[in-house]
């Protein structure tokens, strides 16, 4: 943004005008920044000792595996590495105490990975949570943003 002050103004008036401009400009930046905020949140399951087990990221992965029927295709779709993801899936199964994936090794048609009944239940639970609460949480952000704007205008 360009600021041009008239040269016929006296120096103190220029200073007042300039500082008023900075105050107004900064408030407009704050207002625009706040209006541009988008709510992002994550949910996850964790153990009593606060070790994360399963969250939105793995939910996306499980959904992709269910859609593609193949771990490698799901990884490509999400841009994830095989080794780290495989280790994380094994940790999830160990923490939960049950399998979430059924794996069939390759052959002429290649391997296949599908969700177990429990894996599908996890996806369904996360789906239902997001269907029920995403709009409520987004509305909460709008209210919070409006409150911030209201409070910053008081200054």
Same domain, 17 and 72: no
* pTM exceeding 0.85: no
pLDDT at position 24 is 52
The whole-angstrom separation of Cα 124 and Cα 30 is 39
Q: What does the chain come to in residues? A: 155
Residues 63 and 78 in one domain: yes
Same domain, 16 and 54: no
- In this prediction, the residues of the chain whose per-residue pLDDT falls under 70 are 1-40, 106-110, 154-155
What is the domain count for the chain? Answer: 2
Indicate the DSSP class of residue 88. H
Domain that holds residue 120: 44-136
Q: What is the pLDDT of residue 38?
A: 63
**Same domain, residue pair 105 and 33:** no
- Looking up residue 65, the CATH number of its domain turns out to be 1.10.10.10
């Amino acid at each position: 943004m360009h600021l041009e002050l008239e040269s016929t103004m006296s120096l103190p008036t220029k200073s007042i005008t300039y500082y008023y401009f900075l105050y107004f400009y900064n408030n407009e930046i704050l207002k625009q920044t706040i209006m541009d905020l988008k709510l992002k949140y994550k949910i996850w399951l964790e153990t009593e000792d606060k070790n994360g087990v399963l969250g939105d990221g793995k939910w996306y992965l499980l959904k992709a595996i269910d859609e593609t029927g193949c771990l490698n295709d799901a990884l490509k779709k999400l841009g994830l590495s095989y080794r780290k993801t495989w280790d994380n899936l094994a940790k999830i199964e160990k923490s939960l105490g049950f399998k979430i994936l059924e794996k069939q090794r390759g052959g002429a048609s290649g391997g296949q990975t599908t969700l177990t009944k429990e894996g599908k239940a996890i996806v369904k639970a996360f789906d239902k949570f997001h269907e029920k609460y995403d709009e409520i949480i987004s509305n909460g952000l709008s209210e919070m943003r409006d409150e911030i704007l209201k409070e910053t205008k008081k200054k």
